[in-house]
Amino acid sequence: MDYSHVFKKIRNNISKSGDDTFCKRHLKCGKNFIEWSHFRKAYLWDMSCNPFPIHHRLTQEHLSLTSEGKMRNHLAEDVLNSDMLHPMEQYKASLGSAGSKLDATIDLKAHN
């Protein structure tokens, strides 16, 4: 299995992680959770607050996964690559003290 398929499997598992009713998993790292909503909210924050998005490659297709989108390796690579770390950190800073809930997701991004 090549690395792009591994990225896709990781992204697909993270996309099922959260506390929403449709989520089947709740991935935890340390004291905090890794949730797909962190990626979605960071993307939406980036689009609404910055005239030029920090992560210029991301589109709605990357984060609103359809059954076809789940099969596309490049969408997973774009979401999980290191370019996503900076917008995630900026989104965390914008949340103030409530941003600590993103720590596990940022740790995941910092290690890939």
- Can you give the pLDDT of all 112 residues of the chain as single tens digits? 788 899 999 999 999 888 777 778 888 888 899 999 999 999 999 989 888 878 788 889 999 999 999 999 999 999 998 888 999 999 999 999 999 999 999 998 877 6
Q: What is the pTM of this model?
A: 0.89
Give, for 75, the enclosing helix (H) or strand (E): helix 73-80
| Nearest 10 degrees: Cα torsion 84, 11, 27, 29 | -40
Give the three-state DSSP class for 24. Answer: coil
Backbone angles phi, psi at 21, to 5 degrees: -65, -30
